[in-house]
Structure 1
Amino acid sequence: MIGRLFSLVVDCPDPSALAAFYQDLLTLSRVEDTPEYVVLRNAAGTETVTFQRVADFRPPRWPDPERPAQMHLDVLVEDLDVAEPQALALGATLLEGSDKPIGYRVYADPVGHPFCLVTAEGVTPEA
């Protein structure tokens, strides 16, 4: 095992509004709220959904391949420098422009879907 699921991240035009919908639908609590993203989590702290603002958002039109879904996984790992070569060996690609900030790195899966490896230092404590 390289890591464990940390968060499902949903692209959207208005993180606060979409988070409010899912907060009620899934009985989650708002634990972080900024203009750029909102984090919801269950009471046990085991399920997290993050809503992030995307400029020029175009909603998906399922099952239209020209307008696919815009979500990505955050995978919690102990150490980015250990997890990165393991993910690359599985077929991941470090995305162009990923500047390797402390706490997370952005990759593409073998067919191009983005995902992030994150560490505890990249995760903001609950508000």
Structure 2
Amino acid sequence: MIGKLWTIVIDCPNPSELADFYGKLLSLARLEDTPEYVVLGTAAGTEFVAFQRVHDFRRPQWTVPDHPQQMHIDVKVADLDVAEPQVLALGATLLEGSDKPIGYRVYADPVGHPFCLVTPLD
């Protein structure tokens, strides 16, 4: 093993706002909070997700190479039909072309980063 995942860092125009969305989605607390950088994690010191301000941020566009994804997260859920209205209420958008297959659905966070809700394979 070379190393372990420490932090996922997501570029965005407003770290505080995007951290609110992911904090609720992933049940993570704010561990560090500045105007330029917010870190979410657990009390056990794991599952770090950070958000850094990018002043010339270009919103990703699903399947458009000129506007790349910039990151992608899979979020494991027990039931897609239960989780979907919850993420939509947080500000997510179901992406066009996500035909609601069994097992996963593709969404965008409030600034356009795609993420998937996935269900266990068993």
The answer to whether TM tops 0.5 is yes
How would you bin the TM-score normalised by the shorter chain? 0.5 to 0.7
What number of residue pairs does the alignment pair up? 72
Deviation of 1:35 (Å): 1.1
- Distance (Å, rounded) in 1 between the aligned partners of 2:31 and 2:43: 10
1:77 corresponds in structure 2 to none
The CA RMSD over aligned residues, in Å, is 1.5
1:23 corresponds in structure 2 to 23
2:8 corresponds in structure 1 to 8
Gaps spanning 5+ residues in structure 1: where?
Answer: 73-127
- Give the aligned residue type for 2:40: L
- Distance (Å, rounded) in 1 between the aligned partners of 2:71 and 2:55: 15
CA deviations over 1:40-92 (Å, ceiling 9, x no partner): 002322201000000111110011111002249xxxxxxxxxxxxxxxxxxxx
Q: 2:16 is paired with a residue of what secondary structure?
A: helix
Structure 1 runs of 4+ with >4 Å offset: none
- Give the aligned residue type for 1:29: A
**What TM-score does the superposition give when structure 1 sets the normalisation length?**
0.53
Q: 1:20 is paired with a residue of what secondary structure?
A: helix
Instruction: Give the fraction of aligned pairs with identical amino acids, expressed as a percent.
Output: 65
Q: 2:19 is paired with a residue of what secondary structure?
A: helix
1:63 corresponds in structure 2 to 63
**What TM-score does the superposition give when structure 2 sets the normalisation length?**
0.56
Gaps spanning 5+ residues in structure 2: where?
Answer: 73-122
